[in-house]
Amino acid sequence: MGCLPFRRAFYERLAAGGVDAELLSAAEAVPTLRGRPLSRRAAEDHLAWLIRLGLIRWEVDGQGLTDRVRLTPMGRELLRQWPGEIPSAGPLARLRDALRRHWPL
């Protein structure tokens, strides 16, 4: 979680309810939900990675899937590990994360 650009407020908002995927690339989300500006593509890539890890899932309503995501029980458990802001990962952890994400399976 420390390798991703999202702040604790983002994960807390996911725990409280769903977040619209489009919000993540909006300029007003920078100070509260993420640490740096993201393109829509980059935001979607990060969301896809969190889904693959099992930390978030797409929200479902009576009509089917929506464009909102929410925290899974495992994501809630991980969030409880940090009492404050999630610490940023170091260079070695970021390298490992990049290799895991982009190395062919």
Tell me what pLDDT residue 42 has. 79
Tell me what pLDDT residue 31 has. 61
pTM metric for this prediction:
0.77
Which structure tokens are listed for 94? Answer: 């970021």
Check pLDDT > 70 for residue 59.
yes
Tell me what pLDDT residue 77 has. 92
Q: May I ask the CATH class of domain 8-102?
A: mainly alpha
Ramachandran class of 54: left when φ > 0, alpha when ψ lies in -120 to 50, beta otherwise: left
Check pLDDT > 80 for residue 28.
no
**Average pLDDT estimate for 30-42:** 69
Which structure tokens are listed for 16? Answer: 């409280």
Check pLDDT > 60 for residue 20.
yes
